Amino acid sequence: MTKRYRQYILPILSFMVASLILPMYAKAQTAEKTQLLKSYFGDFRQAKKVSKHGKELLSVWEPQVKYSKTLSPSLQAVMLDGVEKLNIEYDEVWTWENDEGLTLAEKRKFRGKNDIHKLYWKQNAVQACTIEKYYVGDPFTGQNLSKPSHKLWNIYNRNFILRKLAGE
């Protein structure tokens, strides 16, 4: 009986358990994406969603970190809210340019200069959120950049994102 049990019953039980657990796991992952469509991290309902695999070392722009550390502790807490560096792997990236609250004329005028929010995903689980700001000059030295561009201003890791979603 034990041999028959192992041969027939165990595979059936394994299949039944897997069919109960996998849908719950998939639902939890889908819920994570749904929660992040419009959240503390941005409004990604109209985001550009690109499937691409990669590994990346995210790092806040060094002049921004230096500048933030010269501010009062309460402002530092806001400016350095996330982490300064983070290694991630991803298979999907959502990108949203924050032009909320701007008139149509302002949207045209500032196109390409607004904050850029990105969510990095791996197997439907959020890995990180970044915010890039458009810089004309170095905030630490005050000198103009040779080429104004977006620089990484803040990085939020998975744990921070999940805590914010949970309301902590």
* Torsion angle in degrees (nearest 10) through CA of 69, 63, 150, 111: 60
Provide the whole-model pTM: 0.78
CA-closest candidate to residue 140, choices 57, 71, 83, 58: 71
Residue 37 per-residue DSSP state: S
pLDDT of residue 27: 43
pLDDT of residue 58: 96
User: How many whole angstroms separate alpha carbon 97 and alpha carbon 28?
Assistant: 27
Domain ranges of the chain: 1-35, 37-165
pLDDT of residue 54: 95
pLDDT of residue 136: 93
User: How many whole angstroms separate alpha carbon 118 and alpha carbon 48?
Assistant: 9
> Do residues 112 and 132 lie in contact, with contact meaning Cβ atoms separated by under 8 Å?
no
Q: What is the pLDDT along the chain (168 residues), one digit of tens a residue?
A: 555 555 555 455 454 444 444 344 344 446 899 999 999 999 999 999 999 999 999 999 999 999 999 999 888 887 888 899 999 999 999 999 998 888 889 888 888 889 999 999 999 999 999 999 999 999 999 999 999 999 999 999 999 999 999 986
